[in-house]
Structure 1
Amino acid sequence: MMRNYMLCLVLIFLAGVAVGQSAADRQVILGTLDRQTSDWNEGNIEAFMKGYWESDSLMFVGKSGVTYGYQRTFEGYLQRYPDRATMGTLKFDILHLSFPEPNVAFLVGKWHLTRPEAGDVGGHYTLLWRKLNGKWVIVCDHTS
């Protein structure tokens, strides 16, 4: 009986730690998206990219296919958004954020660019995040 009681206490404690960690991790991820939004709206794609995994294994999936690697993803952004008029003003709406396992987060959202000169555009995105070396980074971005 005492063993079951102790097991219950340990499980309750671990559940509390997991919830606390996920809440903190959620704030970090949402904070990164807020910073990326600000960086984008300031016209700073280089700073915007700091939310991504700096690796050749980074995956970006867009309407033109799959791009692998941090540098190629960065170059793709520069090519698609060569000036402030095409960049417009970014707004993210978060539809779903979950933590399917430790150090992994899955986010679904909507994006919208307000572009008075080039015409507004928008769509949906999914981001797969991993906590690597103590830092949350986007390891896969599917934007349509």
Structure 2
Amino acid sequence: MKKLFVAILLSAALGGCATTAPINTRATIEQVLATQTAAWNRGDVASFMQGYWQSDSLVFIGKRGLTYGWQPTLDNYRRSYPDAAAMGHLTFSGLHITPISAQAAQVVGRWHLARPAAGDLTGHFLLVFRRINGQWVIVADHSS
């Protein structure tokens, strides 16, 4: 009887852990995106890029095609958005964060740049996040 009771308690505890992990994952990923948004809106592209995996295996897919690597992605951002006016004010909306495993998640959403002088830009994105060395980072970004 004691073994059955312990098994039931263990099963309930493990079940509770399984339901809290996605909530923690979602909250952590939302924080990464909030930190990125704040950095962008300060005109700080380098800090914005801290949400990305600092690896040559990072992939960014945009209207100009594929870019591999953290540094080339940063360089592209700097070329496309050379100053705060070009960067505008970034907002994300309609976020759908879906944990894929304990170490991976995808995020689908909409981005909007309010740029009074240069004209607004808007589009959608699909991000793949991975938990690497205890940190959730973007390993693939398809923005259109």
TM-score range, shorter chain: over 0.9
1:3 is displaced (CA, Å) by: 7.0
Q: Give the equivalent residue in structure 1 for 2:33.
A: 33
2:137 equivalent to 1:128: no
Deviates more, 1:96-105 or 1:49-58: 96-105
CA distance in 2, matches of 1:5, 1:66: 55
TM-score by structure 2 length? 0.92
| Unmatched tracts of structure 1, length 5 or more | none
RMSD: 1.6
Mapping 1:64-143, distance limit 5 Å = 64-143=64-143
Deviates more, 1:2-11 or 1:97-106: 2-11
1:85 is displaced (CA, Å) by: 1.5
TM-score by structure 1 length? 0.92
1:94 is displaced (CA, Å) by: 3.6
Query: Given that residues 25 and 99 in structure 2 are in contact (C-alpha distance below 8 angstroms), is that contact kept between their aligned partners in structure 1?
Result: no
1:21 is displaced (CA, Å) by: 2.0
Q: Give the equivalent residue in structure 1 for 2:54.
A: 54
| Unmatched tracts of structure 2, length 5 or more | none
Q: Deviations over 1:60-94 (max 9, x none)?
A: 00001010000000001001101112101000014
Query: Given that residues 21 and 102 in structure 2 are in contact (C-alpha distance below 8 angstroms), is that contact kept between their aligned partners in structure 1?
Result: no
CA distance in 2, matches of 1:65, 1:7: 53
CA distance in 2, matches of 1:5, 1:65: 57
Query: Structure 1 residues 7 and 100 mapped into 2: Cα distance closer, same or farther (>3 Å)?
Result: farther
1:120 is displaced (CA, Å) by: 0.4
Matched residues, number? 144
Query: Given that residues 123 and 143 in structure 2 are in contact (C-alpha distance below 8 angstroms), is that contact kept between their aligned partners in structure 1?
Result: yes
Partner amino acid, structure 1, of 2:124? H
CA distance in 2, matches of 1:122, 1:27: 24
Deviates more, 1:68-77 or 1:1-10: 1-10
